[in-house]
Chains A and B, each alone.
Chain A
Amino acid sequence: MTKILEVSNVTKRFGGLTAVNDVSFSVTRGEILSVIGPNGAGKSTLFKLISSFLPTTSGEVRLEGELINNLAPHIVARRGVVRTFQETTIFRSMTVRENIIVSHHLRSRASLWGFFIGSEIARTDEKEFGESADNIIEFLGLQAIRDEFASTLPQGHLRALGMAIGLATNPKVLLLDEPFAGMNHDETMNMVDLVRRLRDERGVTVLLVEHDMPAVMKISDRIVVLNFGEKIAEGTPLEIQNNERVIEAYLGSEDAAIGM
């Protein structure tokens, strides 16, 4: 089992506030790892640090041994770490298919000039993007809405579209930001299924931030727990459920109790 992503001693301070404090963990290739914690524990900040949307104050993030923190988001994406967002973050005035096609940007070999004059490579690229987009649409079962404008879609579909956008970039590691938020039980189970298939059929390593405890327990190979910016536990779902520090952190918080 090789480590694909390593987070070592990462710290982020905003002025006097330490949002993430000396957090270290690693992600194994092909696993689904969840980062959980009460509100304000620093989960989202950690995601932004890994995807270089924010610079780290100290510490290192390595992808396959290479440093990827403090770069620009588009460069980290090029290296293979792609962050998807909550459902509001899509290209609203494009159709589902257009959303997915434009997200193939990283795979294009032609230059912008090549696309402008319609060079041979550009046309091959366009053709491949179209085929790959149709492929992803089929994979996620979005055939019925492929030509709908994204702005007209209900939440469940938007979430799937967000994932499709992530997939189109052909990532090594996909960062999912609360993929189950606001979903009912059935929708959540569908999504759990989908994330598993991403890993099993497409070989994507998944790192996710989530509040929905039953879903997290069901889907994760391992879990990292943050509280007040510090890592307080790491382990399998079973270990986490029985960890005293974790139970303590969650007691009295608004979040759902830990359990299945």
Chain B
Amino acid sequence: MNKTKIAGVAAFLLVLYAVVPWGIAASGRTDFFYTLTSVALLSIASAGVWLTFYIGRINIGQGAYALAGGYVSAVLITQYGLSFWLTLPLAGLFCVLLAVLIGLPILRLRGVYFAMVTLVLTEVMRLTALALPITQGAKGITSIPLPGELSLFGITLIPDFASLENPKIGFYWMAVTFMVIAYAVLWRIVNSRLGHLCRSLQQNEELASSIGVNTAYLRVVAYSISSFFGGIAGASFIAISQSIYPSSFQVNDSVNFMLNCFLGGLGYVLGPMLGTLMLYFGWDLLFTTGKYQLLIYASLLIALMLALPNGVLSLFDKKKA
């Protein structure tokens, strides 16, 4: 990493951890904490979708993994009394397992066929959550306790959220930290050999296998990481809302995760983050337009995609591929 990049990352972290909380405190708009927490968590799920794009697959099924991750965490907390911090990685791992089982058969499909199957996944997950006894059907799981204390060797790393004066700020810190870690991981993947191989897969699977790349294995690896992100995002979300229903993540959300990637730019690691921020705030800002909200929103989206087919971040790109 060169100096400009380090400076950029430092500035970004400063904004996330200092400028934004200070700004919100100064303006008194504490509701922004919730909005930004949502954006941070949704952008983690979108980062996963972005990684599936990176191997050349259109993934419209991230909602399924977010829902699965959410339920795993909720069930483990309410019925087995586990700590939220322990259920978080378990939710991610459960999604990895799910992704391997689902991915093995469906990742052979390409283009629109893969997209269609993943689109159905979210609906299948919703119906599963409705039908299973452990997820308590349409009633969902409610009154999930706030994340407890996380301590290691007697040292408190994270205090009990219930003891916090303002849990909203706590959640903001948590979500932002998760987001930073997720994007650091994504950045590292893209810039290591794994990323190069993913790109080779995206551009020409036949050639990739002829240079010795085990394409089937690599696709499952990428899809599993993607789903892990989805599961983590879902589990974190339900910790905030303290409840989960089969409708917590719907087809709509899956489509949004994909749109975030498109809007931000499929060629840029930070694309899904920017896309999530813009889509989320764009929708909110248009609230004042009342019944025309959806019309204006959709028109703007179409215009943006026509004008910047490679995403908003391509505006700042000097080199051309």
Closest B-chain residue to A85, C-beta based? B207
Interface string of A98-136 (1 = CB under 8 A from B): 100111011010101001101000100110000000000
Give the shortest distance, in Å, between B96 (CB) and chain A (any CB).
14
Q: Are B212 and A77 in contact (CB under 8 A)?
A: yes
Among A106, A112, A165, chain B packs the most CB atoms within 10 A around the CB of: A112
With a cutoff of 8 Å between Cβ atoms, the chain A residues found around residue B188 in the complex are: 116
Interface string of B183-224 (1 = CB under 8 A from A): 000001100111011011001101101111111000001000
- Given A112-B193, A112-B194, A116-B188, check contact A169 B203 (CB 8 Å): no
Closest A-chain residue to B218, C-beta based? A112
With a cutoff of 8 Å between Cβ atoms, the chain A residues found around residue B26 in the complex are: none
Q: Are A126 and B207 in contact (CB under 8 A)?
A: no
Interface string of A135-154 (1 = CB under 8 A from B): 00000000000000101000
Expressed in whole angstroms, the Cα–Cα distance for A98 and B321 within the complex equals 13
Interface string of A53-93 (1 = CB under 8 A from B): 10000000000000000001110011000111100011111
Expressed in whole angstroms, the Cα–Cα distance for A98 and B197 within the complex equals 11
With a cutoff of 8 Å between Cβ atoms, the chain B residues found around residue A44 in the complex are: none
* Contact of A72 (CB < 8 Å), options: B192, B196, B200, B209: B209
Q: Are A112 and B209 in contact (CB under 8 A)?
A: no
Among A73, A93, A118, chain B packs the most CB atoms within 10 A around the CB of: A73
A94 within 8 Å of B (CB atoms): yes
- Given A89-B207, A91-B207, A149-B321, check contact A106 B212 (CB 8 Å): yes
Interface string of B215-237 (1 = CB under 8 A from A): 10000010000000000000000
Interface residues on A, range: 35 or more
With a cutoff of 8 Å between Cβ atoms, the chain A residues found around residue B211 in the complex are: 77, 82, 102-103, 105-106, 165, 168-169
Q: Are A93 and B210 in contact (CB under 8 A)?
A: no
A51 within 8 Å of B (CB atoms): yes
Give the shortest distance, in Å, between B311 (CB) and chain A (any CB).
15
- Given A78-B212, A91-B207, check contact A115 B199 (CB 8 Å): no
Q: Are B199 and A105 in contact (CB under 8 A)?
A: no
Interface residues on B, range: 20 to 34
Q: Are A77 and B203 in contact (CB under 8 A)?
A: no
Expressed in whole angstroms, the Cα–Cα distance for A82 and B193 within the complex equals 21
Among B200, B207, B221, chain A packs the most CB atoms within 10 A around the CB of: B207
Expressed in whole angstroms, the Cα–Cα distance for A105 and B206 within the complex equals 15
With a cutoff of 8 Å between Cβ atoms, the chain A residues found around residue B209 in the complex are: 72-74, 77
Q: Are B203 and A74 in contact (CB under 8 A)?
A: no
* Contact of B192 (CB < 8 Å), options: A51, A85, A118, A168: A118
Q: Are B206 and A94 in contact (CB under 8 A)?
A: no
Q: Are B212 and A101 in contact (CB under 8 A)?
A: no
With a cutoff of 8 Å between Cβ atoms, the chain B residues found around residue A85 in the complex are: 206-207, 210
Q: Are A115 and B210 in contact (CB under 8 A)?
A: no
Give the shortest distance, in Å, between A79 (CB) and chain B (any CB).
10
* Contact of B194 (CB < 8 Å), options: A91, A116, A165: A116
Among B188, B203, B213, B215, chain A packs the most CB atoms within 10 A around the CB of: B203
Expressed in whole angstroms, the Cα–Cα distance for A235 and B213 within the complex equals 36
Q: Can you list 17 A-B contacts (CB < 8 A)?
A: A51-B210, A53-B210, A74-B210, A74-B212, A77-B211, A85-B206, A85-B207, A89-B204, A89-B206, A90-B207, A93-B321, A102-B197, A102-B200, A112-B221, A116-B192, A149-B321, A165-B207
Binding site for A on B (CB under 8 A): 188-189, 192-194, 196-197, 199-200, 203-204, 206-207, 209-215, 221, 321
Binding site for B on A (CB under 8 A): 51, 53, 72-74, 77-78, 82-85, 89-94, 98, 101-103, 105-106, 108, 110, 112, 115-116, 118, 122, 125-126, 149, 151, 165, 168-169
List of 10 A-B pairs having minimum Cβ-Cβ separation, nearest first: A77-B212, A115-B193, A106-B212, A73-B209, A91-B203, A103-B211, A115-B192, A102-B196, A93-B321, A74-B209
